[in-house]
Amino acid sequence: MADVSERIVWIARGGTLEPQSMKSHDVTSEAGQKIQVKARIMKNPSGKFSQFRSFGFDTAVFLVFAPVTVELLFARELTADEVTSAGARSEWVNATTLTGAKVLTLGTDVTDEMREAYRHLDADPGAVP
């Protein structure tokens, strides 16, 4: 799901889809914004997204997909400050996590923008963004 979600955000925002080895962000927008992408297939919003161990990004885009249909249920964009202040911190694993329920209450709704990009996922790679 991670590769697909990163591509969705890249289609939506343009710029550069970073290599998988890039620490702390997955997409650099045309404006130079560093975007971390987190995605999950969730039956209910209490599920947790993967952990944040570094915060060298400007925003994080969270995408939640339905289990059977893989429909994009919602997408939210949070600033790095929102992630650090709202996330649950574990010193034991040196990481911060957020649940889908928490993400739903924060940031900016970017669902329509990400759904539009999702529709173009299978387009000719040279044609988008």
Q: What is the pLDDT of residue 53?
A: 86
Q: What is the pLDDT of residue 83?
A: 93
The 72-79 sheet, strands edge to edge:
16-17, 27-28, 34-41, 59-65, 72-79, 108-109
Residue 48, beta-bridge partner list: 99
Q: What is the pLDDT of residue 104?
A: 92
Condensed to tens digits (0 to 9), the pLDDT of residues 76-97 reads 999 999 999 888 888 877 789 9
Is pLDDT at 126 greater than 80 in this prediction? no
56 near 25, Cβ under 8 Å?
yes
* CB contact set of 101 (below 8 Å; sequence gap of 6+): 45, 46
Is pLDDT at 124 greater than 60 in this prediction? no
- CA-based diameter of the chain, in Å? 45
Condensed to tens digits (0 to 9), the pLDDT of residues 17-76 reads 998 878 889 999 999 999 999 999 998 878 899 888 888 999 999 999 999 999 999 999
Angle at 57 between CA 3 and CA 117, to 5 degrees: 40
pTM of the model: 0.91
